[in-house]
Amino acid sequence: MILLGLFAGLALALSAVGLYGVMAFTVSERQGEIAVRMALGADRGTVLRLVLGQGLLPVAFGMAAGLAAAAALTRLMTGLLYEVNALDPVTYIGVALVLSFVAASACFIPARRATLIDPLAALRAE
C-alpha cells in the first residue's frame, strides 16, 4: 500500500511538472501575442484568465473522462477494495479536488509570468 501511494504521488508530481513545462513553453511562444493584447488594452486579469483557461480546459476534459472511466471500471476493482464502496463519492471528489489544485498551481506560475510581460520590450524583440 505504501508503494502504491508513493507511485501515485510520483505520478501526481510528474503530471504537475509536465503541465508546468507545457504552459511555460506556451507562454514563451505566445509572448508576442500576449504583448499585443496588453498593448491594445487587455488588463492583467484578462491575460491571467486566458492562460489559466488554456491550461485548465484540457485538465477538466481529462478529469471528466478519467472519472467516467473510473466509475465504469469499478466492477473490476470491487474485490480489491477494503471497507470502501466502489462508487465512493468522497474519494472521487477528493481526487478531483487534489488534481484540480495541483493543475491550477502548475498553471498559475506561467500565467503570472505572462501578466508581467512588458508589451513594449516584447514587441521590440519581435
Residue pLDDT, tens place only, 48-60: 999 999 889 999 9
Q: What is the pLDDT of residue 97?
A: 93
CA distances from 124 to 35, 47, 119 (A): 10, 20, 8
Task: State how far the Cα of 81 lies from the Cα of 88, in Å rounded to an integer.
Answer: 11
Helix, strand, coil % (nearest 5) of the chain? 85, 0, 15
Render pLDDT for 30-83 as a digit per residue (tens, 0 to 9): 888 888 888 888 889 999 999 999 889 999 999 999 989 988 888 777 777 677
What is the b/e burial string over 5-23, where b = at least 16 CB atoms within 10 angstroms of the residue's CB?
A: eeeeeeeeeebbeebbeeb
Sequence spans of domains, the chain: 13-125
Q: Are 112 and 26 in contact (CB under 8 A)?
A: no
Taking residue 56's Cβ as centre, other Cβ atoms within 10 Å add up to 20
Q: Which amino acid, residue 5?
A: G
